[in-house]
Amino acid sequence: MVYTGIVKYHVKLSFEVDGLVEKADIIGAIFGQTEGLLGPEMNLNELQKMSKVGRIEVNTTASSTQTKGDALIPMSTDINTAALIAAAIESIDKVGPFQANFKLDAIDDVRTAKKKEIVDRAKDIVQKWSTKTISEGEEMLKDVSDIGSAGKIAAFGREKLACGSGVFDSPWIILVEGRADVINLLRAGFDNALAIEGARIDESIKSLCDSKSKVVAFLDGDRAGGFILKELKSLVNVDVVHRAPEGVEVEELTPMQIAEILKDTAEDMKKETAKPALKDVKDAPIADVVKKVYSQLNESLEAIALDDGTNQVFKVPVSEVVGKLAPGSGIKYLILDGIITQRLVDSAKQAGIGYLIGHRMANLKSTDGMTLKTFTELGVA
């Protein structure tokens, strides 16, 4: 029988039987020996049919000569009826052929217990919520004030993905999951983060990553962060992986925690991007050449090759430029919206290129016979 009543009381009883009996024997005695004691309207069978009494639960423990246990009766009657039923059960003196003793232990008001449980759970919810979040108004004010002092938020690509303004010219990039993560890194002083928004990696992001000397993934410390990392690694070359502590999201970290997690990587990049002193020719002629193409090149993640007469030889994404370089190509100037890496220098040198210009330079070991410049050095950017 399915019990559909709303339980108000739990009638709890204990019993002792001077013999070995089963649960079914106990339940049979409860129904059989209370029948007719209080009138037909209070028979347990009738009360169950009206959903006033639920399924009786019995637990037993047997020794060699005795059976002990307890019984629980859920009831949706008034308290007076519950008390009469309990008293009737206490009057049972036999279970089968054996002497028995039933005793009422308690009548619990289920609603009172449920109310306390609801209140306790509500307190727990409020406590967790208050420690994890701040009000929307405070969050908006914090975003405005923090970003004003730590850096600016920008947008990247067709999808207008949130990023720090330093993403375009920083020698390294930090890939994070969402806009809130970018904002939190700005607060910590890192303006080179890009939100991938669930690993929606297109060619522009791949080209951006290819143009950097180091790609860092900084993801949440949850199961979803692990899935995103796996997807991310299948699409771009990730050099360093950082995770927030287990169960914590990047947007929840304090600036101090972020700085501590990224400390070693940031220090490595400072050393790597320390530019060696290079002996160059006069900058004015080079600057004039670069100024003509800079406006169409900047933030495009592309590279332009020019011959001795500054005619365009090709214009391709930065990620494809090495494959386009070959001896006898006639290229004199190679200008790119990205980082000048050792691999690019080596390929350009073999192709006979004289001038290599970009946003920044990695830690280069060899630049024999080539002139390398940044847009900043030339006064273009």
- We report the CATH number of the domain holding residue 242 as 3.40.1360.10
From start to end of the chain, where are the E strands? 9-17, 57-62, 67-75, 94-95, 98-109, 153-156, 161-164, 172-176, 193-195, 214-219, 240-243, 302-306, 312-317, 333-336, 339-340, 355-358, 360-361, 371-374
Residue 92: count of CB within 10 angstroms of its CB? 20
Counted domains in the chain: 3
CA distances for 64 relative to 18, 61, 68, 137, angstroms: 10, 10, 11, 71
Q: 264 with 306, same domain? A: no
The whole domain housing 169 covers 150-272
Q: Look up residue 44 and give its DSSP letter.
A: H
Nearest to 241 by CA among 174, 168, 171, 172: 174
251 within domain boundaries: yes
The per-residue pLDDT for range 159-199, each reduced to its tens digit, is 888 999 888 888 899 999 999 999 999 998 899 999 988 65
Q: 260 with 343, same domain? A: no
122 within domain boundaries: no
For residues 190 and 281, what is the distance between their CA atoms, to the nearest angstrom?
Answer: 35
Last residue of a domain, one of 109, 135, 158: 109
Angle at 29 between CA 23 and CA 33, to 5 degrees: 165
Last residue of a domain, one of 58, 86, 109: 109
What CATH number corresponds to the domain at position 360?
Answer: 3.40.140
161 within domain boundaries: yes
pLDDT of residue 112: 81
133 within domain boundaries: no
114 within domain boundaries: no
Q: 268 with 289, same domain? A: no
The per-residue pLDDT for range 85-103, each reduced to its tens digit, is 999 999 999 999 999 999 9
pLDDT of residue 250: 93
Q: Report the DSSP beta bridge partners of residue 214.
A: 172
pLDDT of residue 10: 92
For 128, the token pair is 């967790």
Q: 95 with 28, same domain? A: yes
Q: 159 with 256, same domain? A: yes
Angle at 371 between CA 365 and CA 373, to 5 degrees: 90
Radius of gyration of the chain from its Cα atoms, rounded to whole angstroms: 39
What CATH number corresponds to the domain at position 36?
Answer: 3.30.70.2690
Q: 320 with 265, same domain? A: no
Q: Is the entire prediction scored with pTM above 0.85?
A: no
1 within domain boundaries: no
Last residue of a domain, one of 272, 301, 325: 272
Q: 307 with 268, same domain? A: no
Q: 26 with 56, same domain? A: yes
Show the low-confidence residues of the chain (pLDDT under 50): 1-4, 134-135, 145-149, 275-279, 281-282
